[in-house]
Amino acid sequence: MRRIAMNIVTIGMICITAFANAYFQDIDIETLLNEHPNDVIVLMQAAEYFIQAASQGDKSAVKKCLGCLEKVLEKEPRNGEAMAYMGSICTIQAQYASRQQNKIELMQKAFAKLDKAVALYPNNPVIRLTRGTTYTNIPRFFNRLQTAVQDFNHVWFIQNKQDMHLPVSYWVLFHFNYGKALQASGDSKAAVIHFQKVLEIAPEHRLAELARRQIKSGE
């Protein structure tokens, strides 16, 4: 059996963190959760924040994130964004797991949650970005890269038909990870277009420098 070697995710992996950072900049998360333990909006924003922390190496944030999402899904079993976030955090949880069997089970759970969320809400851009970004950044032998490209293609197709009025923070993460997926698929020319989009819409964003490096590496 192939052993699953997985490293803690890097800054480009988690797609939903930009929305949480500003919200919690001057707020104590634990206090907010204690004050509003059953508020779905607070729980979802906290989950985003904890995913960010977990992706940067905070192991304790995984359990906190799972706790928030489990509460949301208990109250709203068909909350597609919560399902997608659950799938994303499960891939991080798998990286921390010490036993090979646990890693496999967690990745299978992640795929099930992400795929179900997309099946329920195929036109939800946050869900598509969450799955696309997660699948772009997991090891290639899981064979999910083309699904990631399809997710990004779908969002881009919808956006070109009608403006979804999503924030710049969304599109920065979208274009950066779309570029990564295309580059990994061997379409470097198309990848550069999306890395350049990052530079166009947010030249000072933390991902802009990474986009510049990706462009340079493809020259």
185 CB contacts (<8 Å, ≥6 apart)?
145, 146, 149
Q: Would the pLDDT of 2 be above 90?
A: no
Q: Residues of the chain with pLDDT > 70: what percent? A: 87
Q: Is 201 helix (H, G, I), strand (E, B) or coil?
A: helix
Q: Which fold has domain 1-151?
A: 1.25.40
pLDDT band at 192 (very low <50, low <70, confident <90, very high): very high
Rounded-to-10 torsion of CA 114, 65, 58, 56: 40
**CA distance linking residue 201 with residue 86, whole number of Å:** 29
Mean per-residue pLDDT, 119-148: 96
Tokens standing for residue 107: 């990745």
Classify residue 206 as exposed, middle or buried by CB count within 10 Å of its CB (0-12, 13-18, 19+). exposed
Which amino acid is located at 111 in the chain? F
Q: Is the pLDDT of residue 151 over 90?
A: yes
Q: Where are the domains of the chain?
A: 1-151, 167-219
What does the pLDDT read at residue 71? 97
Residues 42-76 have pLDDT tens digits of: 999 999 989 988 988 899 999 999 999 999 999 99
Amino acid at 114: L
- Give me the mean pLDDT over the 6-13 stretch: 43
- Range in 5-14, 80-89, 102-111, 170-179 with the lowest mean pLDDT: 5-14
